[in-house]
Structure 1
Amino acid sequence: MGVFTHETETVSPIPPTRLFKALVLDADNLIPKVVPQAIKSVEILQGNGGPGTIKKITFGEGSSYKYVKHKVDKLDLDNFTFSYSVIEGDVLGDVIEKISYETKLVASADGTGSIAKRTSQYYTKDGHEISEESVNEGKDKASHLFKAIEAYLLSNPDAYN
């Protein structure tokens, strides 16, 4: 099994507490409302939302994928850190065993916004490699989702305070 790691940082004008509430704690409800073409539904199959929880995410009509299952690995409310792994679904294809993500939100230098630090680890099946194109495709989708949540928060200043 090979591991390919990719790191990104995204600056946001939204403070970490508010962004974490929307992007992590209420994502199952908010994301299907904000981007219904991307995510149709989120269903908890096991657990209560904390570590060990398994969720099934069904993609929207416009997606080339049907669903994925996520397993929550870590949820740290005090440090605004969230980790989960994609453990099943057609997005993994024949090449990837699982994908693990860790997102940490920290206050920006001026204290008014956030920096979202994200580490993605792609665990490939023996004898396979992942293409840079596949990684960029996933990165672009995550970026669009992040920007959609950010836009929602900017246009709804009283939400998630």
Structure 2
Amino acid sequence: MAVTTISNEFSCPIPPARLFKAAILDAHNLLPKIVPDKINGPFDFIKHQINEVDEQNFKCKFTLIEGAVIGEKIEKVVDTVQFMASADGGSIIKATSEFYTIGDYTMGEEEIQMGKDMAVGTFKMVEGYLLQNPDAYA
């Protein structure tokens, strides 16, 4: 088994507390509402195990254990996301995904880029919703 780690860091104009409430604490309600036909992307289902929720530091760690990319090549994916305050009043989002591969399988650049794009895309959808609904999760 090998581990491929993908790290992302990007900014968002939404403050960390509000973004954490929407994207993490209420994701199970919000995401199906704002992207009902795209929530799993090209996958039939996804199942996560929550490992850690740190509301004080706006941090969450969870493991993808079924569905999506889990199967013959990937055993599990451990995601860690943290929202940190930025100088402009928004957030800096730090996201790390650890792909635990099976056997000698190595992830290609295309798969790595797809993982990054999916993570950023999800947060950008939440950001768009919060910008359009300034009272939501306030």
CA distance in 2 between counterparts of 1:108 and 1:90 reads 32
Cα deviation 1:24-71 (Å, max 9, x = unaligned): 0110000001111112xxxxxxxxxxxxxxxxxxx3xxx421112100
CA distance in 2 between counterparts of 1:90 and 1:101 reads 14
| Higher share of residues assigned strand | 1
What is the match of residue 85 of structure 1? Answer: 63
Contact 1:35 1:145 in 2 (8 A): no
Contact 2:47 2:64 in 1 (8 A): yes
Q: 1:153 Cα deviation (Å)? A: 0.2
Q: Partner amino acid for 2:115?
A: G
Contact 1:106 1:114 in 2 (8 A): yes
Q: 1:109 Cα deviation (Å)? A: 2.2
What is the match of residue 102 of structure 2? Answer: 125
CA distance in 2 between counterparts of 1:128 and 1:142 reads 22
What is the match of residue 17 of structure 1? Answer: 17
Residue segments in structure 2 that go unaligned for 5+ positions in a row: none
Q: Partner amino acid for 1:21?
A: K
Contact 1:92 1:98 in 2 (8 A): yes
Identify which of structures 1 and 2 has the higher relative contact order when contacts are C-alpha pairs closer than 8 Å and 6+ apart: 2
Contact 2:6 2:116 in 1 (8 A): no
How has the CA–CA distance of structure 1 residues 24 and 90 changed in structure 2, closer, same or farther, with 3 Å as cutoff? closer
- TM value normalised by structure 1: 0.82
Alignment of 1:30-45 (within 5 A): 30-39=30-39
Contact 2:82 2:95 in 1 (8 A): yes
Cα deviation 1:106-134 (Å, max 9, x = unaligned): 00023x10000001101000121111211
